[in-house]
Amino acid sequence: MVECPICSKPVKSANINQHIDSECQAFIEGLSPEPGQEDGGLPVSSFFQRPAASRAAVNGVGKVDAPISADTSRSPTRKTNNENAVRNKRPVGSVIPSHISDVNPVDAVGGGLAPKRQKASNPFQNELPLAARMRPQTLDEICGQELVGPKGVLRELIMEARIPSMILWGGPGTGKTTIARVIASMVNSRFIEINSTNFGVGECKKIFFEARSEQKLTRRNTIIFCDEIHRFSKSQQEIFLGPVESGLITLIGATTENPSFKIQSTLLSRCRTFTLQTLTVSDIENILERALELEYPNHSRPPILDPEMIAYLSAFAAGDARTALNLLELAMSLSTRTDITKETIKKSMTQTLVYDRVGGSRFDTMSAFHKSVRGSNPDAALYYLARMFESGEDPLWIARHIILIASDDIGIADNSLLSLATAAYSAVEKIGMPECRISLAHATVALARAKKSMSVFLGLASALTALKEPGVSALPVPMHLRNVPAEMIDMEHRENSNSGPGQEYLPDVLKGRKFFKE
């Protein structure tokens, strides 16, 4: 007989899987001590056995004196709250993760989806934010992601219960956490949800220990969902290497940053990377319409929440379903006022620019700015320049890139623009924000309108490539080009040192080689 690691009740070892699958309701053995157990403890394996004091408290032996309730009508078999608290106490040294759930499989993993959402009888259910209440519970409810669509690769893996360790990469509100929780509801595995912002290596090791015990006892695997996994340092991420490699755990990591830059390469090689698409305006509209149907089942929605308003909210959310639902919840709360108008609701919303000065969005915006200048599009260049200003970007960082563009993309097509870019940098240093924005815009438009020549950039790149060829980097400098001390100069060397059109300047191996092309 063993003790269930979930409910701490005694169960025969042969029935432990059925007991857990029944949500700890069936196959429970009696609590009376067996012969040969003088201390009154349960005949459980030594691995899960409680200390003698805890077993005595559970079985009623050696209880500490406590006041007796005046209510004598209680059944002697009913457990008091204190007894239940002792019984449900977790083993010593265990850790309580952010979210742990044991989910049962559906009738057949490959034969259907998770059960539909049931309305909870909890009176505090409506106190949850709208985004939490509308979180999809099945794959069919997830909108805008082909990965879990009817022909999606990830959907097929889920339906066949072949869940690999994976990294879900996508922007905020695209469904990373939702997909992980739906996976948990459809496979017979223990699901643990953690967040790297409040979890450390020590807590992860404790979870791995519990996962190993669970695997030995019930043969069930453990799925760990790590949100914001990129916030673990690369050295901290190494803690997952062994458990993932051995199959002890299945890791599902969620990140908004490029995994190639933020995830440890050896861990990334052990996981499959799935990229989630940014939700379109149409996807957001479908999500909001579904929310309104559930919130106003009798078509009693406020008139102000018409299709025009839904379209505005969907565009305003910029591909973030969570933001869209939060905006809808705000509009729903304001719609109860008799004097409310659409303009009032729109004014109550604040547009938040998605920009991280240490993340990918910063470099994505600068890349778009650079390519807009290279493509001779001053309108697009000014748009991305304004986005960087509004996001609080360092103007000197922008000015340095403008100097780079002046040589990289314009080059010898207009040599004066390098001086203009350098002057713009000097203006930023001298007058600062916000006035220096005009100087940077001046340089941006001038660079965008100028003729382009990448010949200098390509020539240098060609010369650097040549240095990687065998022996080229160590070629001796031709004798007539070498530096000779004044006292060693003779007439022959003077004659060979004369520069002219017919003179050869490259080593013999590279004679006639062209790096710079007009």
Look up residue 314 and give its two tokens.
């969907």
Minimum mean pLDDT among 38-47, 217-226, 268-277, 465-474: which range?
38-47
Mean pLDDT lowest for which of 27-41, 173-187, 313-327, 387-401?
Answer: 27-41
**Residue showing tokens 């990289």:** 408
Which of 146-160, 237-251, 308-322, 336-350 is predicted least confidently? 336-350
Compute φ and ψ for 73, nearest 5 degrees: -85, -5
Tell me the per-residue pLDDT of 104-114, one tens digit each, with 9 for 90 and over.
Answer: 433 333 333 44
Note whether 221 and 208 are within 8 A (CB): no
Residue matched to tokens 């979210």: 99
DSSP character for 172? Answer: T
Q: Give the residue carrying structure tokens 């304001």.
A: 334
Q: Mean pLDDT over all residues of the chain?
A: 78
Can you give the pLDDT at residue 512? 73
Per-residue DSSP letter, 507: -
pLDDT of residue 65: 41
**Domains defined along the chain, listed by start:** 1-64+83-92 (no CATH), 99-115+126-275 (3.40.50.300), 281-347 (1.10.8), 360-453 (1.20.272.10), 470-510 (no CATH)
pLDDT of residue 286: 92
Angle at CA 459, nearest 5°, toward 456 and 462? Answer: 150
As beta bridge partners, residue 254 has 168
15 versus 53: the higher-pLDDT residue is 15
Cβ neighbours around 377 below 10 Å, total: 14
- Tell me whether strands 10-11 and 222-227 are parallel, antiparallel or unpaired: unpaired
Residue with structure tokens 């408290």?
57
Average the pLDDT over 187-212 and give the result: 86
pLDDT greater than 90 at residue 405: yes
pTM of the model: 0.59
* pLDDT for the residue 257: 85
Residue-wise pLDDT tens digits, 425-436: 999 999 999 899
Residues 6 or more apart from 338 whose CB is under 8 A from it?
Answer: none
Whether 464 and 425 have beta carbons less than 8 Å apart is answered as: no
Report residue 58's pLDDT band, with 50, 70 and 90 as the boundaries.
very low
At 334, the pLDDT band (50, 70, 90 cuts) reads: confident
461 versus 402: the higher-pLDDT residue is 402
Whether cis (ω within 30° of 0) applies to the bond prior to 434 is yes
Phi-psi map region of 134: left, alpha, beta (phi>0 left; psi -120 to 50 alpha): alpha
